[in-house]
Amino acid sequence: MSKKIGILYICTGNYVLFWKEFYESMERHFIADSEKHYFVFTDSPEVDYEHTNPRIHRIYQENLGWPDNTLMRFHMFLKAEQELSTMDYLFFFNANLLILEDIAAGDFLPNDTQKLVACLSPGFYNKMPEYVPYDRNPASTAYIPKGQGRYYFAGGLNGGIATDFIVAIKAMDQETQENRKNGIVALWHDESHWNHYVLNKSEIKVLPPSYLYPEGSSIPLAPIILIRDKFKFNNSTTRKTIIQKFFGHYALRGQKMQILKRLVFLSHRIPAALKRRIGTALYLYRSGKKIGTVSPSGNLLLISIAFNNIETIHLQYDYLKKNLTDNFSYVVADNSSDKKSAALIRSFCTEEKISYYKLPSNPLTGAHPSGSHGLALNWSFKHIVKKLSPKYFGFLDHDIFPLTQTAIIPHIRHSMFGLLQDRNDKWYLWPGFCFYEYQKVVMLPLNFMPATNLDTGGGNYEVLYKTIDKRLLDLPTHHYLNTETGEQTDIFKNADHTVERIGDWIHTMRLSNWHTSDKEQLLSLEMVLERCHTYLHDNS
């Protein structure tokens, strides 16, 4: 009767990309006359071949992140202890392994005097014990004192007789949990615990590093099992994103800061256009600088995207306090490129106890203003809105002001309210005046970047606006107002004397003083708003 071999395989997150080729290589080369059962621990809803091979057992495993995906593997395995105990042998294989040559039972399985199988580390197989990375922390349960040990084994491949390996799994899980209670992480995670467990045990079958041969290595052995280079998993079957292509295992593990560091390291090798695309993709994962706190008690969270103008933020906050009747919280997300302007805005927010976020340096500022604005909005949605989970939220341009008493929440219908932008057969809400019901949109992949033939905010057409009949929305009136004559029109005319009227709100556009440094040639912003208020009051 053929032996039943249980293969333990973890592929949470992006590591599922390796499964198909690993499985195919195992079926082709690994102990042909055995009955192989694959225990696949994954958060993926399905894996290749599971519907055609009943011996593939997919077991749901939450993606624990790094390092718990590797450190807690023994705990994962014990979830399937009952099924594993029906096997004759159990072996763990790292996700990025690929079997290159036929492997016979006699070469791999333990013999009559052996219980477990361990593979020499390809990095330390020829090193003396004092030069290998045993865990030397006396407080760790994986501690190996100096002067002890003979081999250093890799953590990427191990196993043995099922009953004996389950005993080992339980012991290593207990060690890991004890370390965890004491706030200790073993030096090389599960690998350190494995080396500690087999220390001084004689019933071990030792495999040479040809069974864990790093791709591109110069080890003087013929490779039998290849450790695939995670920086090169960008072939036609596995390439998913630019980030994965350039950042290998950091992308697989979701280690965002390591991605950023590698970007700096690789910057001289990446074409400028691609570098901008990567910088844009990574922008959302960078941290901003936060001052103050936002009370989640307000029903409406308003986020104003500031840009190099303290006057607009000052007046906007004054007008909101005076005229907006909603129970709102106000946050300034500062996308300023000028340090002095940013310092003034930060100082004002600190003085007024306004929550302030200095956004990360924007890679599109200057080169692509609409894109810069879109990135700032996306960052604010991810890092501010999602963390606060308000009932309603909205974005304001820094130069839009409520001139009379008004409210926003009563106008939110079908989960949204704002200024409509029509572009041929598509539409979207202008992101300088847009408001949403949080629970209705939080699960959507909102994207405030420009899209083809659509300006900032147009990226949301496909994911949000496309399925909504805009005729059902409560849209504000929209006109242009001449600040010298008081004339109101539907057509945009003289840029130097025109503001935009959006319902009860005024958008001062070019009169916000952001387009010139010669302020003496312009009306002060406050005077512009006073004139607008007078005109509207006289015509009401």
What is the chain's Cα-based Rg? 31
Beta strands in 29-106 (DSSP E): 35-42, 56-60, 89-93, 97-99
Token code pair at residue 137 = 């922390």
CB 330 within 8 A of CB 396: no
What interhelical angle do 272-283 and 242-253 show, nearest 10?
A: 40
215 is catalytic: no
**In 3-state terms, the chain is what percent helix, strand and coil (to 5)?**
35, 25, 40
What interhelical angle do 272-283 and 256-266 show, nearest 10?
A: 160
Residues forming beta bridges with residue 426, ordered by sequence position = 423
One-letter amino acid of 182: N
Pairing of strands 204-207, 116-120: parallel
* Whole-number Å distance between alpha carbons of 21 and 42: 16
234-240 long-range Cβ contacts below 8 angstroms, 24+ apart? 237/20, 237/21, 238/17, 238/18, 240/14, 240/17
Which of 44-66 are b and which e, b meaning 16 or more Cβ less than 10 Å from the residue's Cβ?
beebbbbeeeeebbbbebebbeb
Instruction: Give the CA dihedral 387, 388, 392, 397, nearest 10 degrees.
Output: -80
Catalytic residue among 24, 27, 83, 191: 191
**How far is C-alpha 298 from the chain's CA centre?**
28
DSSP 413: B
Distances (CA, A) of 40 to 34, 52, 264, 327, 533: 18, 15, 36, 50, 67
* Whole-number Å distance between alpha carbons of 409 and 301: 11
Q: List, by residue number, the catalytic residues.
A: 191
